[in-house]
Amino acid sequence: MSLNDTCAAWAPRVLSILRIVTALVFLQHPLSKFLSFPMTMNFPATFSMVWFAGVIEAIFGVLVLLGLCTRPAAFILAGEMAFAYFIAHASRGMYPLTNNGEPAVLFCFIFLYLAFAGPGPWSVDAMMGGKKKR
């Protein structure tokens, strides 16, 4: 078996791993906002923009983690991260490195990819839908 064949065989599983790891890293943000875990943050004012962002991140982050309704959840998170970048980071400078927006940009494009690629085979979506339909 060639390297290309091996990579092609593993690609769907690695997609699932990308989705799971991304969601776990992403969920640190709402967990910090609301539960002070893994670090302490000030609890956002109820119904503030930061509070709504945390609610969106928590709900849709868990959906992406589970691979449940992955495509719409990832699409919403991609949009939220684009919005976060332009609201919180772009005004501080043109480049993500200088405005601390690298995580928002990366999350945005990973979630956008997941919205199009789907959850992979290790997901609730895959368990409920049987074989992947194209």
pLDDT digits (tens, 9 = 90+) for 18-45: 999 999 999 999 999 999 999 998 899 9
Inside any domain, residue 92 = yes
* 61 CB neighbour count, 10 Å cutoff: 26
Q: How far apart are CA 109 and CA 116, in angstroms?
A: 11
Does 13 map to a domain?
yes
pLDDT at residue 131 in the model: 54
Task: Provide the pLDDT for residue 111.
Answer: 98
Residue 97 within a domain:
yes
Q: What is the pLDDT of residue 115?
A: 98
- Sites in the chain below the pLDDT cut of 50: 132-134
Q: Which residue range forms the structural domain that includes residue 121?
A: 3-129
Domains identified in the chain, total number: 1
* pLDDT confidence of residue 134: 41
Position 88 in a domain: yes
Q: How far is CA 120 from CA 24, 44, 93, 123, 129, in A?
A: 16, 34, 36, 6, 12
The pLDDT of residue 129 is 86
Asked if residues 96 and 89 have their Cβ atoms less than 8 Å apart, the reply is yes
> What residue type is 85 in one-letter code?
Y
What per-residue confidence (pLDDT) applies to 88?
A: 94
- Tell whether 70 is covered by a domain: yes
pLDDT at 43 (0 to 100)? 93
